[in-house]
Chains A and B, each alone.
Chain A
Amino acid sequence: MSDRADLLQGTLDLLILKAILPAPLHGWGISKRIRELSYDVLQVNQGSLYPALYRLEDRGLVRSSWGISPEGRRAKFYTLNAAGKKKFAEEKANWRLFTNAVEQILHAT
């Protein structure tokens, strides 16, 4: 379990930030959204998701507040703040750089 979390460490943050970019979501919502957006390829383990959320909150990139979910339940919603948005832009650029580099290596002959 923990092995995969480590592997996803950098990307998981990016995915979470992307998931809550349009609108605040609760934990389960984030995991569902990531699953949907990736067409069920990426399954975010909750053992990694919540610690990641708390970590992002600790770093001051997301804010959390209690509210009522669309399903009518009391849930904790995570919102991206200004620092989080900036961080997302940075992380996205980094990711592009990284994947392009890997692509080039793989395409090299």
Chain B
Amino acid sequence: MTLPNIIMDHLLTGIVFLPVIGILIILLLPSNRPSLIRWTSAAFTFLPLCIAAELFLLFNRNEAGFQFVEKFSWIPTFNIHYYIGTDGLSITMLLLTALLSFLCVFASWGITQGVKGYFTMFLLLEAGMMGVFVALDFFLFYIFWELMLLPMYFLIGIWGGPKKEYAAIKFFLYTLFGSVLMLVVMLAFYFYSDPHTFDLVELARPGILKIKDLTIFGLPITIALFKKILFILLFIGFAIKVPIFPFHTWLPLAHVEAPTPISVILAGVLLKMGAYGLLRISFPILPQETYWFSYALAILGLINIVYGAFCAMAQITLPQEKGGNDWKKLIAYSSINHMGYVLLGMAAFTVEGINGAVFQMFNHGITTGMLFLLVGVIYDRVHHRRIDGFGGLRVKAPIYTSIVALAFFASLGLPGLSSFISEALVFLGSFKVYPSLTILATIGILINAAFFLWVLQKIFLGPLNTTYKDLSDINFRELVTLVPLAVLVIFLGVFPMPILDLMKITLDKLLTVIQSV
């Protein structure tokens, strides 16, 4: 398949800005034609998906550096460039974003209020996410990072659940707090690099940061300490997004209040940005500090795994008035658990660990996307999510139950499904470096199995709760959103190499950077 050169030369620009063109078109459409708006959005998320597929085909698996690079001077006074490109790390995230965005348009079919505004925001969000993953200039990265925040705020705040305002403002402020820290670090990088630059590739060159000893508030700060401070600030900025304990409490709230497709995007893509930022910015630019921080990172990973799993299980054992008994919240906490594996794998600096971590980011995007879509399916029918308010639904909705079971088993790391491969790689990698932490982390596996099966039993097994005797099984539109993900979960569980092939060379190079410290 050959496309005209102008498109082939600007594939990444296309993947970022096609949704923006979609916005312009939607703004011109009459707001009383919702289905036209929906189909337009579908088209303008489908096109990025096509580009993502094209990238997947064209991507050179043996190249560690950036591909499909586009670089133009943007604000020459400050040496800011429109500099985008993709490597093994970001291409997986681009694929994930393109796929989930496209499927979420169909999951948004049920939105009937403010359709025009909703899809405008949705497409803007997609543009922002794509931008973050392709940006190679810190300034550009920051712009896209902030750009995402705005539509997310409105999507939760307007189309969300009963506590949407509280959730939206909390999400906004929390993320903004992280962004400010990132901004500080960005400026520090700029002013201490010689020549001044925001170029992430340049900044990763050893010795470009020429920091002299300095005094802040009369305290002498050594270079080493200053770089550590920068690392910590940047880390907190990203930790909020992952989210890493104790910066995680915005997540259950935002997930619960957000409408289904937005929860999917939030958990599926936005959570990956924290880990992506660490791998893209902190690791290569501050390798010594990364290495210095690695044990703490592993411990935080362990806490995420165990703590997230226990908090998820508490959703079953705690009554509603004490903040429990919410199926969606349970999945939100299980996301904290799953992101813990990413951290643990990243902290080990082994081939298995880091590949497992990035693969886990991808797999978590798929499985958690499925889980949120599935909660949405039942919520649309019965308008509640109380775990003990169901019972025996399998009789009425066998297809739905099968897909839920698949998603649950994928999440609890059943072999043959994609998450198992990534979790196993993480464990194999981290055991070499942190044997005791890894053994403790296996508690997470057990608790995961326990609460997923418990929920499965409470909702689907046992005698049918007669309130739901007229419950309808999953419909065609919902199947459209779920089946591609289900197929991926199984396919990647058996043949993980198509995704691992994309990332392995890039990650190997990243590892050598840190191991050389």
**Genuine A/B complex:** no
